[in-house]
Structure 1
């Protein structure tokens, strides 16, 4: 999972679970793993300088379910942390492929399956106004906060836009859900990986 995001001269958008390289379950040999792969998505590939730390926001980037909070909040500059977030989302989705975590295919879903994403692609109906901002239960940030909890002021001190800060303050307080409760069959290493990649503050 980390190899595509560690490429220095290219950044791929968006990483998705269907492009992941995974061991072939039909291979019984313990010493040889034949990977299964699917075509990579290079729709918005862009070259970057190896020394470039920040990337200018160029528009509506990254598929909604894997979109980092700083992109949702329209931060003008962002770093490779957006890819770290995406990898964490993909990893969580892969954990749902384990039967003990999701017994049937109906139980499997992305980690953050939002159906809208204010202000990039807001919900068209059934929104509730809070402090002047539209809110919907399936909006991407709302879905994210249902898992990681509502961020504190310290968590969003990286946000530069005052309107975005006001928007964050309009969310109801939600408690963080332990990833171990979401993925009971996950190893401690897997839970640690999620805790290190699914972090609201990119700094």
Structure 2
């Protein structure tokens, strides 16, 4: 089906949708373990206008149902794309712009909460949990440079820790006069069978 949306606006919205889809594989599990974003608005929104008089009534109805479902399921990033498509389709409908603004506001609240948790985890040295929160931010806002930079910093810190840990094992092994990869062997006298031990005593 050919979309009735203006091409220049459609390309921008679909590009954003593609970035969200790329982040979506991460977001499903990460948002669950991270506690999820703040709840979507619970107050009853203003009723939406009828679509019977719309030139693209069928497409609009399908898109509107999708946007409402995504909002109810707290899939805020997906909902924002759907509401934005509706504002492009029917720019004269104030209710679509209001729904889009409301979803974007909740996205900003969720991003701020995930960023706050990430900073807490990072200060405690819990890099994996901090990374999960930053990834949750990117699932909501794929172009968030702060979260992307924080993830790169976490990866550098992980590499530093791994390097220092490996260096410490090698240093300890040198001091003990053994290879860092050598598995300690039990003493023969302790592992020998009773007959062998008695023979050794005689």
The TM-score with structure 2 as length reference comes to: 0.29
Larger strand fraction of residues:
1
Larger helix fraction of residues:
2
Larger radius of gyration: 2
For CA contacts below 8 A with separation 6 or more, give which structure has more relative contact order: 2
